[in-house]
A = this chain, B = another copy of it.
């Protein structure tokens, strides 16, 4: 019998009416003869309400107690969803993370799942029950309640799918799938029928917000087929799976834009061994993550060293570089917040040459100047002026033939 894990996020269970709608959707699958395990988030707004209560008491609640507090959010949802399923004539059984049990490490507020005891769930499924599990939460080996951090419910769903060897892990959200790019920027954006884990990981890390990176990594590791679907309308959604299962032979699957980064440059650095470490060491020591890095050599024997950081770290990074400048006897610290990183992602570029030149030509034809370039096996990213975000995305989307015909 087919076993499907379904995950519904906070918006999908945000009201009693929506919980009833989720129950109907679950039942429609059950009627097809599928076994169903549902993982749910807290009702939208609930986590904020609880966090606000904690903040009224202390600005820095201890992680252990914050997890005890926040984990009540999903516990409310599992109870209400089971009630809705039972009111509609189906037997259902709820489990908190601790009850399953979902064993995690002891890092409160961002725990990692270590293992899932699937025995109770298997028995319940065998008895014909629909099983509803609280997402986002678990317990450590001492029985302390833990939470998994942002997007944890997706991870719970995938972990359940892996432990139960489910046929598919369905992530229900407020969009109906993964798109070639943001449809708000490019109305001609197409929903992808399928995409590989690698592509999804690149797209997620480049700004596509449909799925949490951790859950995709988890799915890839255990080869769990994931599917992104809408909670509010019917449809096939987008299947995320390993390369072998991908039927579409396209060069590029998607175009992303990320304006969370800022660019800083240390100019006129003596071109000597160890310069990169001297510059990036203090940045890393401050806990600042660096994304793209470029180093150019000038004719005068000095070098310009440029890298990008999160915009939130922009000011602090400049302060650090001012100190580095004096130490290295460099010329100046420069920077720009008004940038955007445009990326094309596609497993197809492994076997197709010319993706980079096609990308650069398309941008150049529109008069968009490229400031930085970075590449990986299945991705090319460029930094351009922020004002070119929409034009750049539309240009690339069209250049790589992604527009809906």
A contact set with B: CB distance below 8 Å: 16, 19-20, 50, 53-54, 56-58, 61-62, 64-66, 68-69, 71-72, 75-76, 78-80, 82-84, 86-87, 92-94, 96, 98-99, 143, 145
Contacts and interface: CB of A to CB of B under 8 A. Distances in A.
Copies in the complex: 2
A145 B143 CA distance: 15
Contacts of A75: 68-69, 71-72, 75
A135 B78 CA distance: 21
A76 B72 CA distance: 7
Contact of A84 (B58, B86, B143): B58
A45 to B, nearest CB: 13
Given A53-B16, A65-B79, A143-B99, A58 B86 contact: yes
Contacts of A80: 53-54, 57, 65, 69
B54 A83 contact: yes
Nearest to A120: B143
Contacts of A82: 62, 65, 68
Contact of A87 (B16, B19, B20, B58): B58
**6 cross-chain pairs, A with B, having the tightest CB-CB distances, nearest first:** A69-B79, A58-B87, A72-B72, A68-B79, A16-B56, A65-B82
B50 A87 contact: no
A69 B72 CA distance: 9
A71 B79 CA distance: 10
A203 to B, nearest CB: 36
9 contacts: A20-B57, A53-B80, A54-B83, A57-B84, A61-B79, A61-B86, A65-B83, A69-B80, A71-B75
